[in-house]
């Protein structure tokens, strides 16, 4: 078949990107330590989410400065958006629900060395490491130089335009990554990697916007109250009705009584 060499080349490029992203995980010194490996995976995942958080909500932090879009206003880091993304991605998908479960299974071998099965659970499939692996795989494809440098994750080392290119590839979707994933996906998910990648890309951006402009970062589950003013409220100028709006303060138009 004339298309076979091209298909194999795309598959090789996609697999190389995934392996390079997995190789960017921090090394664990000393003898094998499952807890240390899990901690390293968690830090690498959180670092990737910091890179994503400032892509959606830049601020005055080091990650925003590194991508070239610093702002004086507080952003995703101050809103605790990275922690929001990790927690909610890891609690989102009940095991073994589809469609993303098949994608997790296809990529699990690449992270199998990071502790005892980061995708093995009888309750949920932790999607944060999976999302981090996909973002970092494409980051290395966009700029191989991101395998080294400041921060833990290649995606966090990209400039703003590079991060935009990552999402362009995912939503395209990137044929090299699609070929690499389709080989691993079980039936009936084969030939569905394209749709899965588009879904993941859109969901990551939507979830980031939701978390960044929500009250999550200052919400105390124990008291059911806010411990401070949410970043999203400050950035958008939002004033909750409970604090009073100027037009609702005092008597309407200065009236003190109603006459028939």
pLDDT per residue as tens digits for the range 135-188: 988 898 899 898 888 898 999 999 999 999 999 988 886 667 766 666 666 555
pLDDT confidence of residue 90:
85
pLDDT at 229 over 80: yes
Q: Using alpha carbons only, what angle is made at residue 19 by residues 113 and 137, rounded to the nearest 5 degrees?
A: 115
Measured between its terminal Cα atoms, the distance across the chain in Å is 88
Exposed, middle or buried, 234 (CB in 10 Å: 0-12/13-18/19+)?
Answer: middle
Instruction: Tell whether omega for the bond before 66 is within 30 degrees of 0, i.e. cis.
Output: no
Looking at the DSSP bridge assignments, the partners of residue 93 are 125
Tokens 């109250």 belong to residue: 225
Instruction: Tell whether omega for the bond before 250 is within 30 degrees of 0, i.e. cis.
Output: no
pLDDT at 118 over 50: no
Residues 118, 98: Cα–Cα separation, whole Å: 17
Asked whether the beta carbons of 153 and 55 are under 8 A apart, the reply is no
pLDDT confidence of residue 41:
82
pLDDT digits (tens, 9 = 90+) for 63-116: 999 999 999 999 999 999 999 999 998 887 655 555 555 555 555 555 544 333
The pTM of the full predicted model, rounded to 2 decimals, is 0.75
Residues 37, 22: Cα–Cα separation, whole Å: 13
pLDDT confidence of residue 80:
96
CB burial of 163-183 (b: ≥16 within 10 Å; e: otherwise) equals: bebbbebbeebbbbbbbbbbe
pLDDT confidence of residue 42:
86
Where residue 35 falls among pLDDT bands split at 50, 70, 90? confident
pLDDT at 8 over 80: no
Asked whether the beta carbons of 82 and 76 are under 8 A apart, the reply is yes
Residue 1: strand, helix, or coil: coil
pLDDT confidence of residue 214:
92
Q: Which residues contact residue 201 at a Cβ distance below 8 angstroms, ignoring those fewer than 6 apart?
A: 167, 170, 171, 173
């Amino acid at each position: 078949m004339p298309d076979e060499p091209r298909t194999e080349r795309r598959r090789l490029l996609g697999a190389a990107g995934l392996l390079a992203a997995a190789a960017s995980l921090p090394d664990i010194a000393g003898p094998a330590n499952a807890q240390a490996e899990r901690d390293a995976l968690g830090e690498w995942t959180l670092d990737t989410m910091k890179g994503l958080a400032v892509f959606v909500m830049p601020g005055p932090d080091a990650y925003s400065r590194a991508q070239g879009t610093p702002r004086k206003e507080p952003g995703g880091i101050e809103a605790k958006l990275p922690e929001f993304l990790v927690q909610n991605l890891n609690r989102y998908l009940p095991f073994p629900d589809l469609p993303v479960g098949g994608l997790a299974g296809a990529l699990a071998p690449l992270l199998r060395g990071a502790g005892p099965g980061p995708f093995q659970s009888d309750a949920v499939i932790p999607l944060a490491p999976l999302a981090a692996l996909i973002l970092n795989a494409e980051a290395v494809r966009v700029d191989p130089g991101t395998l080294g440098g400041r921060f833990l994750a290649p995606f966090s080392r990209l400039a703003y335009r590079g991060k935009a290119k990552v999402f362009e590839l995912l939503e395209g979707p990137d044929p090299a990554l699609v070929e690499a994933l389709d080989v691993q996906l079980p039936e009936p998910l084969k030939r569905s990697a394209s749709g899965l990648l588009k879904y993941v890309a859109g969901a990551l951006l939507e979830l980031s916007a939701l978390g960044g402009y929500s009250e999550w970062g200052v919400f105390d589950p124990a008291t059911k109250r806010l411990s401070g003013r949410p970043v999203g409220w400050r950035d958008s100028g939002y004033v909750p009705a409970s604090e009073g709006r100027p037009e609702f303060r005092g008597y309407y138009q200065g009236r003190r009584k109603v006459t028939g």
